Amino acid sequence: MTRETEDSFALTCLLSNPSIVAVVTGSRAMGGRAGVIELAGARGQLLADHVHGFVHLVRGSELLTLPVPAHLPTVRETLRAFVRALREGTDFPISIEDGLRAVAIADAAYRSAERGGDGVAIAGSSLMS
């Protein structure tokens, strides 16, 4: 268990396309790890786990395993790309806008939890999180 970050979480998101639902869950508790991402829509479902390195496309009872690139330590690689961009004067690997959006989503998740799971608006958006 950790003291500075959550050991487990679950987040359900309403997207701009109301026919798609996104669920993100993660756990680092009790010696196990998981990082599940699920997108469900009218034409099927994507089920992935970035910790275990799989992605499945599910349509009815059909399960198709999709190819996944080799695992990379993402924090290390993102920091390397950031430093390279600073040194070379090129674009950052993650835009300021994308970074702010990620923080806004995390903030909305915390506010939702404080309100007993009620949906809350994401800053700069009319959507609920």
For 80-106, the pLDDT digits (tens) are 999 999 999 999 888 888 888 888 888
CA–CA–CA angle 19, 117, 28 (5° rounding)? 95
How many domains does one find in the chain? 2
Q: Judge whether residue 127 has pLDDT over 50.
A: no
Tell whether 19 is covered by a domain. Answer: yes
Q: Provide the domain limits for residue 99.
A: 72-120
Domain check: are 40 and 83 in the same one?
no
Residue 74: count of CB within 10 angstroms of its CB:
9
Domain check: are 50 and 84 in the same one?
no
Contact 22, 15 (CB under 8 A): yes
Domain check: are 77 and 63 in the same one?
no
pLDDT at 68: 93
> How many H-runs (helices) and E-runs (strands) does the chain carry?
2, 6
Tell whether 129 is covered by a domain. Answer: no
Domain check: are 89 and 60 in the same one?
no
Q: What separation in angstroms does the CA of 24 have from each of 8, 80, 88, 126?
A: 11, 26, 35, 20
**Which pLDDT tens digit goes with each residue over 32-71?**
788 899 999 999 999 999 888 999 999 999 999 999 988 8
Question: What is the DSSP pairing of strand 44-49 with strand 62-66?
Answer: unpaired
